[in-house]
Every structure is written in C-alpha cells, then in structure tokens.
Amino acid sequence: MTTLDDFTRRAAHLDAANPVASARHQFDLPEGEVYFLGNSLGPLTHAARAAVTRVLDDEWRNGLVRTWHDGDWLDLAASTGDLVGRVIGAPAGSVVAGDSTSVALFKVLAAAARINQSPGRRVLLCDSRNFPTDRYVARSVAELHGLDFVEAEVTDMPARFADDIAVMTASMIDYRSADLHDVRAITAAAHEHCIITVWDLAHAAGAVKCDVLANDIDFAVGCGYKYLNGGPGAPAYMYAAPRIIGSVHQPIPGWFGHAEPFGFEDTYRPAAGITRFSSGTTHVLSMKAMHAALGVINMYPIDDLRTTCIGLGDFFIEGFDTFLGGGNFSLGSRREGSQRGGHIALLHPDAERMSKELIARGLIVDFRPPNVIRVAFSPLFLRYADVARLVGELTVLK
C-alpha cells in the first residue's frame, strides 16, 4: 500500500529527472510558500527585476528621451513579440506586444470582421464558456459592425459552422475546467466555410504547445502575466498569420503603428507588417519586465515545458486517486494530460474554506464559485515535491 512517505520519495526521484528543474533558480519565490497560481499571475523572475532596475537607474535616469533612439525602446514591442512568437510557434515578425488582452482582442476581432463581413456573412460566433471579458468584447464588436452575436460551446462549433459566419472566436483552454480544445481541427473546419478564426491563448501559452502557424490560425491574442511571468498587468500580444497581415486594418490607428511614426503625416499609413497593430507609445517599464521574463522561458524547449506540465498534473491526479478518492473530492478536469491545459479544477462542497486554509498553510491556490479549488502546474518553478506536499495537506483538510 502506497503511503504519503512513499509518494514524497517518488516525487524526489521525479524532480531529479525533470528536464527543466534548473529553471526554478531563475525565480525569486517567497520563502515557505508553494505557488499554484501561475495561471493567474506568474511569479517574479530575477531577470525581470534586473531589467526594470536597469531601465530606472540607467536608461530612463541617464538616457532620458535619447533612449528612444539610442537604446531599444522603439523596437521593444516588436522584439518582445518575437520572443512570444517562439513560445506560441509563430514566425518572426508575426507577433507584436502591447495593450491589454481586452484591447488586443477588440483590435483583432474588429480587423477580422472588417475583412470578412458581407451581406451574406452576418454572424460573429463566440465561445459560450469563454472568459467573460472576451464575451463582452466580442459582443461589442458584433454590435459595432452590425453582426449577429451567436454563442456556442467550442465542441459544438463545427456543427454550427456555415457560410453565414464571418468570424469565430474561442479560447484554446477553458479557464474553468482546463479542457484543451482541438484547435487544429476546429480551425480547419472553420476554414472550410471561409470563416476567420481568432483564438485567445491567455491560459495556454507557456503551458501547452500553441503552434499557431502549424494550426493555420488566422489571429490570436494572449496576455503576458500568466505562464509567461511578465508581471501584473503585463502587456498583451497580437498574432496575425503572415498570409493575412497585408489586408488587415485595425480600428485604433496610432503613431506607433504608422509606417513612419516620426514623419507626423496627416494621413495614417499602416506599417507593412504586424507592427500596424500597435497604437500608442510602448509601456517601456512593463514591456522590459515581460521581455526579460520571456528570455527565461525561451531557455527551455516548449516540448520539455509541456512534458513537465503534464507530468506535474498527472502526479497530482495519482495522489488524488490514492489519497483523496472515495470522499467528497472530485475532479473537474480531464484525466488525460494531453487533453488538459496547465491547471486542474479540484471540486469539493467546502472548497472556499479549504482554499483559505491551504493559503494559510503556505499553499497558494484559488477558489472559484461554487465549489472549485484551482491548482495550476506551472512547469518552470514548481516541483513534484510541491505537489506531494499539496496532496498531503489535502488529506488533512478533507
């Protein structure tokens, strides 16, 4: 019979074989705490702190306005976008960082609607289980463009696809259950009806392989502050397929998206590539933090990150089956790691109390009404030993 001591000893062996174990040293983690909320806000990297300090003490203090041209500030949105591109499987020059995820989604959806709406294409189809902000933005874009706003669950979308749909939008991962959708198949089915696809990668990038180019995605957006560890309120990013970017007109033209930002022309001319999705001045402090954090994630192959993420989640499920099954606990996420994102929804009637007690014991999880304890398995800094500790504490609380 397996004991908690046996489980903990096996965790040590798994940690010793973890291909990304060294990444933990890149993070400044609170002493005595185990952080299972990288799907909400990634922790601080030493590189991000150093980058922001350098901006404050040198680039801003000494360089002042000269740093726009003498340093890298002007190209920072594009170079940060390229680092995101390496994580999501996008080619260089197809991703730009900036804005918030809500603004980025508005820009991309509006651009997609402008390309594809017609008298016969009057529908914007939205993931009915999407994060609420995505649904608010999608409904607003539909109203502004005179489109019918229709919602459906992602798994039901292919049955709804028809030639009356201009744009479909969904999240790659369900933020509640962590269900990982078959992006390739859904996108291919949409393209059979010439529907433009817009995917939200916020809960995916850094935890799963997104492969936006290989999956033939038209547009994608995401945030920088979850698994990418860019910091609170870190910039979002926007991807457009190289085959489509030349026909894109986004709804918030600004000088940083202009072909010649310092030409100060009266008429707007969009930049040739993805930079046309930029609008206002780059937020240098937050962009520098995100840029540095992306340097950490890009030290490790995405295949290794994905393998570790699945391994940590599977180890938790093994602990659930061995020590927590048969009581009031149940799983709200898929057991098969390849069909699951980076977190697991643990269900319990008293989930709110348990979440608070876990946090008091130094295990940082979160509660989602009515009965969900969300546990994220960020591969860069979590250990199998941390998972064993969580399972042990849950056996006490159950």
Catalytic entry in 107, 121, 334, 374: 374
| The one catalytic residue among 200, 277, 306, 383 | 200
- Residue 208 phi/psi, 5-degree rounding, is -135, 165
Is the CB of residue 194 less than 8 Å from the CB of residue 116?
yes
State yes or no: is 225 an active-site residue.
yes
DSSP secondary-structure letter at 29?
P
Instruction: Tell me how far apart the terminal alpha carbons of the chain are, to the nearest angstrom.
Output: 20
* β-bridge mates for residue 171, sequence order: 200
Q: Which two tokens stand for residue 38?
A: 């990288």
Q: What is the CA radius of gyration of the chain?
A: 22
**Greatest pairwise CA separation for the chain in angstroms:** 76
Residues 306, 208 contacting (CB under 8 angstroms): yes
* Cα distances (angstroms) measured from residue 75 to each of 82, 282, 294: 11, 9, 16
Residue 374 catalytic? yes
**Known catalytic residue at 335:** no
Asked if 312 contacts 387 with a C-beta cutoff of 8 angstroms, the reply is yes
Q: Give me the count of residues in the chain.
A: 398
According to DSSP, the residues that pair with 197 across neighbouring strands are 168
Q: Which two tokens stand for residue 299?
A: 């030290």
What is the full DSSP assignment across 133-164? HHHHHHHHHHHHTTPEEEEE-GGGHHHH--TT
Q: Is 237 a known active-site residue? A: no
Decide if 100 contacts 220 (C-beta within 8 A): no
Q: Are strands 330-331 and 123-127 parallel, antiparallel or unpaired?
A: unpaired
94's CB contacts (< 8 A; 6+ apart) are 81, 85, 213, 239, 240, 241, 242, 245, 273, 274
Q: Of 27, 36, 106, 131, which residue is the catalytic one?
A: 131
Catalytic residue of the set 226, 276, 334, 340? 226
| The one catalytic residue among 225, 277, 316, 320 | 225
Active site residue 10: no
Q: Please identify every residue annotated as catalytic.
A: 131, 200, 225-226, 374
